[in-house]
Amino acid sequence: MNVPASLKYTKSDEWFDPASGAMGLSDYAQSQLSDIVFVEVLVEVGDTVEVGSPIASVESVKASAETYASATGKVVAVNKALSEKPETLNSDPYGAGWMVKVENGQPGEVMDSGAYEKYCAQRTH
Amino acid sequence: MTYIPISPKERDAMLAVIGVKTLDDLFKDVPVKHRFPKLDLPPALTEMEAAAELADIAASNENVHGDLISFLGAGIYNHYIPAVVDHMLRRGEFYTAYTPYQPEISQGTLQAIFEYQSLMAALTGMEVSNASHYDGATAAAEAVNMAWAQFRGKRRKVVISATVHPQYRAVIRTYTQGMELDLAGDDADTDLDASPEELETLIDDNTMMVIVQYPDFFGRIYDYTKLIGAAHGKGALVCVVANPTALALFKTPGEMDADIVVGDGQPLGIPMWFGGPTLGFFTTKKSYVHKMAGRLVGETVDNHGQRAYVLTLTAREQHIKRERATSNICTNQGLLALASAVYMSVLGKSGLRQVAELSYHKAHYAAEQLSKIKGMGLCFSEPFFHEFALCVNRPADEVNAHLLEHGILGGYALGQDYPSLKNHLLIAVTEMNTKEEIDTLAGVLSEVNND
Amino acid sequence: MTDAASTKTGPKIVEPTIFDLSSPGRTGVSFPDPDVPHSELPKSMLRADLPLPELAEVDVVRHYMHLSKFNYSVDGGYYPLGSCTMKYNPKIDEDTCRLPGFLFTHPLQPIETVQGNLALMYQLQEWLKEISGFAAVTLQPAAGAHGEFTGVLLMRAYHKSRGDAKRIKMLIPDSAHGTNPASAGMLGLKIVQIPSDPRGNVDLKALQERCDDTVLGMMLTNPNTLGLFDEHIEEVCRIIHACGGLMYGDGANLNALLGIVRPAEIGFDLMHFNLHKTFAVPHGGGGPGSGPVGVAAPLADFLPEPLVGMLEEGDEETPPLFGFVKPAKSIGRMKAFHGHFGGGLVRAFTYIAMHGPDGLKDISQYAVLNANYLLARLRRTYRVPFDRICMHEFVAEGQFEGSDVRALDIAKRLMDYNFHPPTNYFPLIVHEALMIEPTETENKDTLDAFAEALIKIAAESKTQPELLHNAPSTTQFGRMDEVKAARDLVLCCWLPEDYEEQR
């Protein structure tokens, strides 16, 4: 399982990049959902998101999940390409699968990659 | 033990395997005080007796095939149902099958629903159809739910024409009673002569949806293109409630750029059945498909490389999204969607057109004959399909009572829903009404003046 | 005319669609020429083309006959689908619901002309009241989920009428069917999940902790989706009532309770019936259903309109006059017209008439007998997490130690044994759940054959797991590419582009 060290992670499986202000769904999350068929980003450039507010709706063949903001901030970019190619979330969740970028993002309760790896390992499924 | 195939000997053998002595022993978790109530119901009838009793009950009604000549419509129509429709519905493989959650052994149902979706999309001029809702009224309510989901609560106004079926408007209000919506456009004193464009004044940036009916409740045909353009200009969605028979003849709501088309498919091979069950169709643009409620059948291949069909985008539905689902709907009207598909298939392009044209010509002949009666006249002057409002210049109920004495079911008394139309009947005519019946109606109605 | 089988390279076409089979100029059913003069059609409003298929009647019949052969059905075999009650659908019900006196009546006819229909509906309301113990019944909801939504609206209206607007939470067990939270969600209620205890009952301590005056009520299926009758059901209802909440019963599992117990008497305030489960109304390949709702007296005024009532009492000479009544504080209309009269109500009426009180009790006793028999035969092979006397269904785990076989594979392999699989992956609280409900209309030979098939499949999972992973292999169609279906999203087919040129 891929857990880049430069990112921060939430308990609800989102990641936040303090350097770029980008956020999205973790590799663990996409593997749980399996084949993703629909992504709808729910916020627009200019919106302010708060930690815990929904930023995207994700559906796979068998499951559905909401993605929540991992940081508070003003949205400066949204990844429109995800609605055309939802499978990007499966293949590249930390790269091309970014969902929303905020400026001056203040992360909420997040953990570093080591803690997140442990957290994923202990969850039974 | 009517349909139970276990003999006493088998029962005892099974109880022994389970490890209890009697059937009653299986219910020890049920509170003793309330266990095994004596139900005050009539003793069981045999099949022969039940058949006779039900036949008596049915015969005590007056029905529109043997007892009464009918000019009653208002959302349920007396159309001819070809014999082949019921013969297909009576096949046990169709009607005793379950929801097709196991596609390998449900391709009959799945392909039939896929074809139904295709037929409805073609009929309404839209891109996709779901597998159906309970009826036209609940389909319209689901359209409002869809608009709500689309705007995520940022818009809360629905503009709804007063000429949408009164019961549909009532159902929409029931469904949305917890949503704090502003429903505008159908006050009791609305001017029913107003053109649809006048609704434009009500559409604003808070409007999530505009709902109109085609033909409207009074049977009138309007081109909603301009209204739809105006709604889109404000970013609102438009839902058109359509009569499916009319769509065989007239410009489709799809051509007018409607976002959602709903309606009741009862005219398509489903009996009147005292109002239910019927079929709620729901068609829309492909871009809205993820917001749409209801089951959806999609095409795919199986692991033998055969073209096949499956329920798809199921993550939208209640069993996965649970409280976040757009709707709680589980069932579709499966068997009735099949009925409408068989009807549309066996009538085809030319047959459905014939039904629509016959209904049109007969309704216009009736309108012409009835408006010649002294003291009576058509209420509206717009083009209409197979229903029209007739002003009878005296309380509508009196007129209908007189008609009933002559074995005629008159039109719907409009005063029940429209205070300004207390002396008006909504007359419906279909291919099932002969010229003789229409002439009889005209004859009996003209007698009313002599009373 | 397009030759459907060789139209394109790509998937093999087993049965062409109705559009594939269409050919210009073919006609099926046609109608007489108008016997009235033609009226002018409004030219600017006419549709240019109606792209529907053109087939002869024989082609339509053959097409649907071919399709029917791909379906498994109750008439063809056993469907142990938990929570669905796939019992035999009596053929007499097909005839009675199609009597002309029912088929050809319009819902808006004067009530004097449809007293037969109204008397039947009134009588059915009374019978459902008697069976369940409730004070009033509406026959209007079109399906179980529709009944649930009606129920949630009723609960909200009741509290609102008491001036209590702070009740915004609905308590729902973790084993609940998805329609329960979805119905509550439609009203914007907050769902609070209640866990089950180790014996499969509602966890009383957790329930007590979450009960306060912001709770609208609880939605509970009893017996629950594990097939277990809650050992503390009266206490559960008492706890909810104590905090001012209402107890909603999901009646999906009523097949275990006919003549056994009346839900109203053990504490439920309202409940929906599934006529297409308990009362043998056929499933129709997905519908139509019928979901009447019964309520205790305090809720009767809120029922949807219209209700069927007795407008005038009868005497020795005249029958009563039945008609429609609007409850005083009605939540409104749930659908157009009166409910699923033809499909659901007449069939259920016929069914209850032919069973009587003793017959109904037999149904539940034998439904529960059959389920416990299967449980006894299977518990040594499949792990049953809540292993106690069950009601009409039970849940087993479809997985084995040391094998990567899952419930899905077991389900698919059952098809190779000519059985429809049980419900799988529900309820969510059991891993790899297989929910088995035989119903009372299966004979012992079928039950034994099913148990033996499952036992054999368990053995195959260890010795020949690929048989399960590749199943079904003996059916016409195999496993589907569901990802392709969702990604490519082909939801309709059309007449070919060059169709008109062939006319």
Please name each of the domains of chain B with its CATH number.
Answer: 69-81+349-448 (3.90.1150.10), 84-343 (3.40.640.10)
Is there a contact between B345 and C18 if contact means CB atoms under 8 Å apart? yes
Residues C294 and C369 in one domain: no
Q: What is the CATH number of the domain that holds C439?
A: 3.90.1150.10
Task: Please identify, among C354, C379, C394, the residue that sits at the C-terminal boundary of a domain.
Answer: C354
**Same domain flag for C333 and C444:** no
List, in order, residues 6 or more apart from A57 with CB less than 8 Å away.
A38, A39, A40, A42, A64, A65, A66, A67
Low-confidence ranges of chain C (pLDDT < 70): 1-8
What percent of the residues of chain B are helix, what percent strand, and what percent coil, each to the nearest 5? 45, 15, 40
CA distances from B136 to B127, B166, B219, B281, C241 (A): 19, 12, 16, 7, 38
Do C138 and C303 form a contact (C-beta atoms < 8 A)?
A: yes
Q: What is the pLDDT of residue B63?
A: 97
Chains with 3 or more CB pairs under 8 A to chain B:
A, C
Q: Please check whether residue C77 lies inside any domain of the structure.
A: no
B315: distance to nearest CA of chain C, Å?
10
Residue A23 lies inside a defined structural domain of this protein = yes
In chain C, residues with a C-beta closer than 8 Å to the C-beta of B68 are 109, 113
- Which structure tokens are listed for C436? 């088995």
In this complex, is the C-beta atom of A38 within 8 Å of any C-beta atom belonging to chain C?
yes
Instruction: Give the closest-approach CA distance of C243 to chain B in angstroms.
Output: 23
**Which of C428, C487, C490, C491 is the best mutation test for A, with the most CBs of A within 10 A?**
C487
A78 to chain B, closest Cα gap in Å: 18
- Identify which of B91, B122, B296 has the shortest CB distance to residue C68: B91
pTM of the predicted model over 0.90: yes
Look at chain A and report how many structural domains it folds into.
1
Using DSSP, state whether B376 is helix, strand or coil.
Answer: coil
Question: Does C498 reach chain A within 8 Å, measured CB to CB?
Answer: no
Statement to judge: residues C275 and C376 lie in one domain: no
Q: Which residues of C touch B92 (CB under 8 A)?
A: 73-76
Q: Please indicate, yes or no, whether residues C326 and C184 belong to a single structural domain of this protein.
A: yes
Q: Report yes or no: C58 at the A interface, CB cutoff 8 Å.
A: no
In angstroms, the CA C44 to CA C95 distance is 46
Q: Are A59 and B152 within 8 A, CB to CB?
A: no
Among B90, B250, B286, whose Cβ lies nearest the Cβ of C46? B250
Q: Which chain B positions have a beta carbon within 8 Å of A63's beta carbon?
A: 315, 320
- Chain C interface mutation, best of A33, A35, A82, A124, highest count of C Cβ atoms under 10 Å: A35
User: C461 and C412, same structural domain?
Assistant: yes
Which residues in C lie closer than 8 A to residue B109 (C-beta atoms)?
Answer: 71, 285-286
Residues C145 and C251 in one domain: yes
ipTM surpasses 0.95: yes
* Residue that finishes a domain, picked among C354, C386, C414: C354
Q: Does residue C3 lie within any of the structural domains?
A: no
Interface test with B, best of A32, A34, A57, A82 (most B CBs within 10 A): A57
> What is the reported pLDDT for B153?
84
Give, for all 451 residues of chain B, the pLDDT tens digit: 789 999 999 999 999 999 999 999 999 999 999 999 999 999 999 999 999 999 999 999 999 998 999 999 999 999 999 999 999 999 999 999 999 999 999 999 999 999 999 999 999 999 999 999 999 999 999 999 999 988 988 999 999 999 999 999 999 999 999 889 999 999 988 999 999 999 999 999 999 999 999 999 999 999 999 999 999 999 999 999 999 999 999 999 999 999 999 999 999 999 999 999 999 999 999 999 988 988 899 999 999 999 999 999 987 776 777 777 767 766 789 999 999 999 999 999 999 999 999 999 999 999 999 999 999 999 999 999 999 999 998 999 999 999 999 999 999 999 999 999 999 999 999 999 999 999 999 999 998 876 5
Question: Residues C309-331, buried b or exposed e (16+ Cβ, 10 A)?
Answer: beeeeeeeeeebbbbeeebeebb
* C423 phi/psi in degrees, rounded to 5: -65, 135
Let me know if residue C224 belongs to a domain. Answer: yes
CATH code, domain with A78: 2.40.50.100
Instruction: Mark whether C106 and C255 lie in a shared domain.
Output: yes
Residues of C in contact with A37 (CB under 8 A): 483, 486-487
Nearest-CA neighbor of B196 among B238, B141, B235? Answer: B238
B219 is written with which tokens? Answer: 């049977």
* Chain B contact for C4 (CB, 8 A cutoff): no
Contact A64 B152 (CB under 8 A): no
Taking CB atoms and an 8 Å cutoff, what residues of chain A touch C486?
35, 37-38, 61
Verify whether the Cβ–Cβ distance C491 to B299 is below 8 Å. Answer: yes
Indicate yes or no: CB of B303 within 8 angstroms of CB of C363. no
C378/C306 same-domain check: no
**B-C Cβ pairs (cutoff 8 Å, strict):** 700
Residue C435 to residues B320, C144, C365, C425, C487: CA-CA distances in angstroms?
Answer: 17, 19, 19, 8, 30
In a domain, A56, yes or no: yes
- C223 and C154 part of one domain: yes
Say which amino acid occupies C325.
V
C487 shares contact with chain A (CB less than 8 Å): yes
Inter-chain CB pairs, A–B, below 8 Å? 25
Q: β-strand C215-221 against C246-251: which pairing, if any? A: parallel
Interchain proximity C486–A38, CB inside 8 Å: yes
Distant-in-sequence contacts of C309-313, Cβ < 8 A, 24+ apart: C309/C122, C310/C122, C311/C111
Q: Do C336 and B365 touch (CB under 8 A)?
A: no
- Please report which residue ranges of B32-184 form alpha helices under DSSP H: 47-59, 83-89, 92-95, 107-124, 136-151, 166-175
Which residue in B332, B220, B248 sits closest to C51, CA to CA?
B248
- A69 in a domain, yes or no? yes
Tell me, yes or no, whether C481 lies in a domain: yes
Q: What is the pLDDT of residue C8?
A: 56
Q: With contacts defined as CB-CB under 8 Å, which chain A residues touch B313?
A: 37-38, 59
The pLDDT score that the predictor gives to residue C2 is 40
Would you say residue C72 lies in a domain?
A: no
Residues 29-88 of A with CB under 8 A from B: 37-38, 40, 42, 59-64, 66
Is residue B171 helix, strand or coil? helix
Partner B contacted by C24 (CB < 8 A): no
Check B321 against A64: CB less than 8 A apart: yes
Please indicate, yes or no, if residue C16 is contained in any of the structural domains. no
Q: What is the residue range of C406's domain? A: 359-485
Best mutation site among C429, C483, C491 for testing chain A: the one with the most A CBs within 10 Å? C483
Alpha helices in C69-227 (DSSP H): 91-96, 100-103, 115-132, 144-161, 179-185, 204-210
Do C161 and C306 belong to one domain? yes
Q: Please give the residue range of the domain that contains residue A97.
A: 8-106
In a domain, C403, yes or no: yes
The domain total for chain C is: 2
Contact state of C486 with A61 under an 8 Å Cβ cutoff:
yes
Instruction: Give the distance from residue A125's alpha carbon to the nearest chain C alpha carbon, in angstroms.
Output: 9
What pLDDT is stored for residue C4 in this prediction?
45
How close, in Å, is residue C483 to chain A by CA atoms?
6
C36 within some domain: no
CA-based nearest distance C361→chain B, Å: 8
Measured between beta carbons, the chain B residues lying within 8 angstroms of C178 are: 317-322, 325, 330
Q: Inform me whether the C-beta atom of residue C486 falls under 8 Å from chain A C-beta atoms.
A: yes
Question: Cβ separation of B152 and A42 shorter than 8 Å?
Answer: yes
| CB pair distance less than 8 Å for C486 and A87 | no
Q: Does C8 touch chain B (CB under 8 A)?
A: no
CB-based contact, A115 to chain C, within 8 Å: no
Judged by CB atoms closer than 8 Å, whether chains meet at A38 and B315 is answered as: yes
Residue A114, domain member (yes or no): no
For residue A43, the chain B residue with the least C-alpha distance is B152
CATH code: domain of residue C199: 3.40.640.10
Chain C nearest C-alpha distance from A61 (Å):
6
Q: Which two tokens stand for residue C361?
A: 């009790």
The answer to whether the CB atoms of B354 and C30 lie below 8 A apart is yes
**Yes or no, beta carbons of C106 and B248 under 8 Å apart:** no
Shared domain check, C342 and C372: no
Q: Which pLDDT score is estimated for C426?
A: 82
Any C CB within 8 A of A91 CB: no
Residues pairing with B389 in the sheet:
B426
Q: A76 lies in a domain?
A: yes
How deeply is C48 buried, as exposed, middle or buried, from its count of CB atoms within 10 A (0-12, 13-18, 19+)? exposed
Neighbours of chain A (3+ CB pairs under 8 A): B, C
